[in-house]
């Protein structure tokens, strides 16, 4: 069952109250960017107090500092003037429930959706799968706080990232809605 009609209906209502939003400036008004997870339980607009036009929000599985995420952050700064960046991972992240090897094994067997049980993810689909997964770094998370620090460090060390941009590291707690500062992340991302 598709959600297409629901999305189009919601968009129609949104257009009716769109007002002056079409005149928002291209650069984000509050001059910051957030790199966070694609998890549907996270709403950066709510947990960071954002309105449309306030900030750039870059999302991927795990909120990881992938090459593409860094590309987006560099564009955010260089062309659109952001001055601060946040890396925000979260508790109970699906990226903590598997490893690269598990993902590669699942995809080698089948391209259908896997199931999650007490022992982790397992394949329930019929083949064929693909060995192409062997060539992907899935950026899984084995230690949540450490992954935040690693991502802040990776961004900070990148040759295209200016040293004067502060990079903050947090974990969003899905159970309470709190942003928890990750020890070591602010030091790793301090502006120089």
Q: Identify how many contiguous H helices and E strands the chain contains and give both numbers.
A: 6, 7
Record: fold of 25-97+140-192: Beta-carbonic Anhydrase; Chain A (3.40.1050)
Q: What is the pLDDT of residue 147?
A: 98
Q: 12: part of which helix (H) or strand (E)?
A: helix 4-16
Condensed to tens digits (0 to 9), the pLDDT of residues 131-188 reads: 999 999 999 999 999 999 999 999 999 999 999 999 999 999 999 999 999 999 999 9
Q: What is the pLDDT of residue 48?
A: 97
Pick the residue with more confidence: 116 or 29?
Answer: 29
Strand order in the sheet with 167-172: 55-60, 32-37, 84-90, 167-172, 179-181
Pick the residue with more confidence: 61 or 117?
Answer: 61
Q: What is the pTM of this model?
A: 0.94
Q: Domain limits of the chain?
A: 25-97+140-192, 99-137
Q: What angle do CA 127, 130, 133 make, to 5 degrees?
A: 135
Residue 189 has pLDDT above 90, yes or no: yes
Q: Are strands 167-172 and 179-181 parallel, antiparallel or unpaired?
A: antiparallel
Residue 46 has pLDDT above 90, yes or no: yes
Q: Are strands 32-37 and 115-117 parallel, antiparallel or unpaired?
A: unpaired
Q: What is the pLDDT of residue 1?
A: 81
List Cα–Cα distances, 5 to 12, 15, 18, 120, in angstroms. 10, 15, 20, 34
Q: What percent of the chain lies above the pLDDT cut of 70?
A: 100
Residue 120 has pLDDT above 90, yes or no: no
Residue 92 has pLDDT above 90, yes or no: yes
Instruction: State how far the Cα of 53 lies from the Cα of 69, in Å rounded to an integer.
Output: 19
**Confidence label for 119 from pLDDT (cuts 50, 70 and 90):** confident
**Confidence label for 191 from pLDDT (cuts 50, 70 and 90):** very high
| DSSP-derived secondary structure for 98-110 | --HHHHHHHHHH-
Q: How many residues does the chain have?
A: 192
Averaged pLDDT score across all residues of the chain = 97
Q: What percent of the chain lies above the pLDDT cut of 90?
A: 95
């Amino acid at each position: 069952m598709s959600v297409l009609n629901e999305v189009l209906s919601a968009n129609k209502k949104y257009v009716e109250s769109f007002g002056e939003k079409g005149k928002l400036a291209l650069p984000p008004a509050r001059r910051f960017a957030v790199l966070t997870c694609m998890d549907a339980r996270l709403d950066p607009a709510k947990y960071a107090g954002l309105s449309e036009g306030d900030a750039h929000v870059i999302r991927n599985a795990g909120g990881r500092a992938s090459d593409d995420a860094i590309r987006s952050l560099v564009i955010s700064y260089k062309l659109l003037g952001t001055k601060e960046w946040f890396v925000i991972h979260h508790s109970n992240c699906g990226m903590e429930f598997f490893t690269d090897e598990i993902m590669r094994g699942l995809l080698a067997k089948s391209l259908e959706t896997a199931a999650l049980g007490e022992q982790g993810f397992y394949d329930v689909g019929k083949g064929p799968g693909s060995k192409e997964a062997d060539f992907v770094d899935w950026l899984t998370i084995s230690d949540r706080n450490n992954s935040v620090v690693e991502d802040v460090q990776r961004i900070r060390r990148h040759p295209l990232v200016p040293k004067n941009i502060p990079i903050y590291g947090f974990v969003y707690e899905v159970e309470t809605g709190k942003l928890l500062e990750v020890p070591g992340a602010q030091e790793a991302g301090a502006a120089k």
